[in-house]
Structure 1
């Protein structure tokens, strides 16, 4: 049984293969989709009334936030610390300036104010009180963690079933086995031929996420795509595609973006240090495999 809906500017497809009653499957799928809606409502920087954008307008004051915002932001800050700020969720204003500021449904254009010197270190999170404190004006971008977080929450709703996949635009979690009771075979899109796969991986009870330079390009700045280095304000191009396989989608999502940003020298070390698996594709379409993939 499967259903498809649109969230986070992408098609979300949920498939469940089980012998359990249909009404249980439908209820669980509905709760899985509800997780995407809640995360989008909390984390979108494209809606002025999202929890994230409301918090971004409160400077130098603790703002209570829900777990749907607190958890992905906390994880983003951990990755920022790990990469010494190469991965930085305060890159939102730069994203706006490069043309990534239009809501995919309403067409509304977001233009915000941010301090030019802002970094992830200007965000203070209080875990006990679950509050967010911003030292300077900023726009937080959670595009590298929020979708993975939503996939994880949705997958949690489907754990009772033998076989399922939550696929959000190619980033996915595959539970159990496929309809033939084999491990899931997942294709990685060819960077230059969208209808073809450049590599196939096998996974079970794992997530796989890909960051690629071919996905979204700036309409404002030549040579810039949606993965932007926070310091240079340019897009790295050592890789055209970085895929990471991890136990959870938020981890795979964040590490695929971080690997892309770190380029040829730092990406392999990052994935190995995290004990994850990766498939990195160079601009010459050469494939580097990390771990047993």
Structure 2
């Protein structure tokens, strides 16, 4: 049976997002319409969660203190999940690092070039515990001024939402920079093969996996450097407000992209031993790479490595 391949690439969330669909029964026009719906998920999540747009829902939320605010259910879910990961990691992962990111130069909008500088102060002692969620009423109350950064959640969340528009195809891949989700089978009716980028040589892979219906997300210190100091990367330890440097890369395999996205960041910040422990307790695959290029795998990775 013939299997056609259709692909489209769009810029969202400061990264190139590519969608590939494999179909034995849909026309190119139908495939393009489905991919357009999938890309709409990225536009929506960026509108809600972007720290680089003063008009975004999350930045508007940041300006209201000690008053419960009703928010879009998707934004509520993203923040709720981020706080769950913060609790799971004892605060090693914390969505309230936005001001620290801003102060280190990570505040430039990728489309306009505008630098976002918050007019309100954020206490250095803020943490995820200053965010109070009311699940019944879907409201969020901030106990003190803070800026949330959902960079480790939002892109994975968008991938998961986008995938819902593509489930009727024989297979598909959503590749949003370091966040990848694969479903079904490839054009050769095989499991998908995904290469994990070498942290020092962009054109090389350090290992490869074979899988389906799963997300592969990577966080690396090589991806984003501060424009004011190229020795500072974007993966900041919220307990010290300084970049974490025990690892240069962490890849996590999980059933959902938002989970893999958040945990790849969390494990990077936790470091090798506690990070591997967390992933193995969660029965998830992981690849952790040190600055000396020592590669460490969780036990679960044996099921996926080529």
TM bucket by the smaller chain? Answer: over 0.9
Query: Aligned equivalents of 1:187 and 1:66: distance in 2?
Result: 36
Return the TM-score normalized by structure 2.
Answer: 0.94
Q: Which residue of 2 aligns with 1:7?
A: 12
- The question of whether the paired residues in 2 share the 8 Å contact of 1:242 and 1:260 is answered with yes
- Are 1:35 and 2:16 matched, yes or no? no
Tell me, yes or no, if structure 1 residue 111 matches structure 2 residue 117: yes
Which aligned pairs between 1:93-132 and structure 2 lie closer than 5 A? 93-112=99-118, 113-132=121-140
In structure 1, the partner of 2:3 is none
Match of 1:82 among 88, 106, 114: 88
Q: Is the 8 A contact 1:43 1:68 kept in 2?
A: no
Show the counterpart of 2:56.
Answer: 50
Cα contact 1:38–1:68 (8 A) shared by 2? no
Do the aligned partners of 2:171 and 2:184 also contact (CA within 8 Å) in 1?
yes
| Aligned residue in 2 for 1:20 | 25
Aligned match of 1:243: 251
Whether the 8 Å CA contact 2:199–2:248 is kept in 1: the answer is yes
Residue of structure 2 aligned with 1:66, choices 66, 72, 75: 72
- The alignment's TM-score, normalised by the length of structure 1, stands at 0.98
What do residues 168-227 of structure 1 show as CA deviations (whole Å, max 9, x unaligned)?
A: 013110001111111111011111110111111111000000000111112334632010
CA-CA distance at 1:68 after TM superposition: 2.3
Higher mean C-alpha displacement, 281-290 vs 241-250: 281-290
Residue aligning to 1:254: 262
Aligned length: 293
Q: Does 1:215 align with 2:227?
A: no
Point out the more displaced range, 205-214 or 63-72: 63-72
2:169 alignment partner, one of 161, 167, 175: 161
Question: Which is further off, 16-25 or 216-225?
Answer: 216-225
Structure 2: state its 5+ residue gaps.
1-5
Deviates more, 1:100-109 or 1:231-240: 231-240
CA contact (8 A) 2:65 2:143 kept: yes
**Conserved in 2, the CA contact under 8 Å of 1:223 and 1:235?**
no
Residue 225 of structure 1: SS of its match in structure 2?
coil
The CA distance in 2 between the partners of 1:46 and 1:20, in whole Å, is 41
Contact map agreement 2:288 2:296 (CA 8 A) in 1: yes
